[in-house]
Amino acid sequence: MNRNTYSWPRRLLSAILVAVAAAMAPGTQAAEPSSCTQVRMADPGWTDIDATNAMTGVVLKALGYQQSVANLSVPITYEGLKKGQVDVFLGNWMPAQGPLVKPFVDSHAIDVLHANLTNAKFTLAVPDYVAAAGVHSFADLAKYGDKFGDKIYGIEPGAPANQNITKMIGDKAFGLGNWTLVASSETAMLTQVERAVRDKRWIVFLAWEPHLMNTKFHLTYLSGGDAYFGPNYGGATVNTVTRTGFADQCTNLGRLFKQMTFNVDLENRIIANVLQNKVNVNTAAREALKADPTLLAPWLDGVTTVSGANGLQAVNGALAGH
């Protein structure tokens, strides 16, 4: 045999070793399917999810992905995740959504990927002048039913928090069996709160943090609702959930979404910039990310662009260009 009989396998082996070494290099990701370049997300119309979706959009665009956001109610969002029509939802508030989400988790219809926010809260609240008159807990509501009009103001129909209120009324808990839930939307509910505060009328409503309402109004969160909203004034964790298998199919995106973690102050700044200063939410998100560059390094650790370039450098470069 001549020398060339053996040289071809050696060249092939060298090429394989080079490819393996490149694949094992720090910060690289396996190629994702082309379907991963479009990231489908959901928004129930909540300002906090507007903010987190907008920050995510800034990052995804810089990495070369396309984000689409559909305005969907929470129940429809979970059905969309189950059917593979939605990829990612950043608004799994727990424990408020516990009863709704449990069947999806138990049947492996969705994946709970990551806790993206802690130290949030979500329960009933009243204006401070109502608290000063004696309403500090759920147990105080019934004796002032006439002042409240026997009504609790909630958000969009079908929302898990509304379902908790409906169950509470159905259970006749706290003497509220003859009360009514007024379901509308976040915006409509807060319009009612604003009018009530202006006229010093009594109102009890769903409240949560992060949200501008905490600075726009002087609120008192009600204690005693643990059975329906969880302890510590509805102390909440917000999770990132995805359609089943998303993080395994889209490994680079899976890494990103497992690492994106927000905080109450960050979200409050964006919400305030949007609602008070009338800044576009995408602009507000970019400004917030530029103002706190330490956020991006842990988010983008080991994450690349669609083409395989350094993700952190790409996002920082995109932010610097605005």
pTM, whole model, 2 decimals? 0.78
DSSP string, 3-24: THHHHHHHHHHHHHHHHHHHHH
Model pLDDT for residues 78-129, shown as the tens digit of each residue: 999 999 999 999 999 998 899 999 999 999 999 999 999 998 989 999 999 9
Domain ranges of the chain: 36-119+236-320, 122-230
Nearest to 262 by CA among 34, 78, 83, 48: 48
CA atoms within 13 A on the CB side of 12: 6
Model pLDDT for residues 221-241, shown as the tens digit of each residue: 999 999 999 898 989 999 999
Rounded to an integer, the average pLDDT of 28-51 is 87
CATH superfamily of 36-119+236-320: Periplasmic binding protein-like II (3.40.190.10)
Per the prediction, the chain carries an average pLDDT of: 90
Do the domains 36-119+236-320 and 122-230 sit in the same CATH topology, yes or no?
Answer: yes
Looking at 4-18, 32-46, 128-142, which range is the least confident one?
Answer: 4-18
CA gap 279, 274 in Å, rounded: 5
Residue 19 has pLDDT above 60, yes or no: no
Residue 280 has pLDDT above 60, yes or no: yes
Cis peptide bond upstream of 44, omega within 30 = no
Domain 122-230 class in CATH? alpha beta
Cis peptide bond upstream of 157, omega within 30 = no
Report DSSP state, residue 310.
B
CA gap 74, 186 in Å, rounded: 13
- The structure tokens 């429809």 sit at 76
